[in-house]
């Protein structure tokens, strides 16, 4: 388990707030109704496979009955503009 995922699991177990989910209208939410381990594997596999397509994959967030994450192509553009890198 990576350090980021371990921190997310600890935050969820402690009842702390989850990271913000994407608010762009074009984002896609993936909901996985399973335990943390399999959800993390799915998220990390997907993130690894789409990293070259310029899509941002959010950290896992606890939902009722499982975990969710979002994917968004606009977040990367917005982040690049904020960092002075211009648009994608």
Q: One digit per residue, pLDDT tens: the chain, 88 residues?
A: 444 545 555 555 554 444 556 778 778 899 999 999 999 999 999 888 887 677 888 899 999 999 999 988 887 655 544 444 433 3
Distance from C-alpha of 79 to C-alpha of 34, rounded to nearest angstrom: 31
Does residue 72 form part of some domain? yes
Q: Which pLDDT does position 8 carry in this prediction?
A: 52
Q: Give the domain range for residue 55.
A: 3-82
pTM recorded for the entire structure: 0.62
Q: Which pLDDT does position 86 carry in this prediction?
A: 39
Phi, psi of 16 (to 5 degrees): -75, 160
Domain count of the chain? 1
On whether the CB atoms of residues 76 and 86 are closer than 8 A, the answer is no
């Amino acid at each position: 388990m990576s350090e980021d995922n371990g921190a997310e699991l600890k935050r969820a177990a402690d009842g702390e707030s989850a990271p913000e989910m994407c608010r762009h209208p074009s984002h896609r939410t993936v909901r996985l109704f399973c335990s943390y381990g399999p959800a993390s594997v799915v998220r990390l596999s997907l993130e690894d496979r789409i990293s070259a397509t310029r899509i941002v994959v959010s950290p896992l967030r606890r939902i009722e009955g499982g975990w969710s994450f979002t994917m968004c192509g606009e977040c990367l553009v917005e982040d690049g503009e904020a960092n002075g890198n211009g648009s994608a």
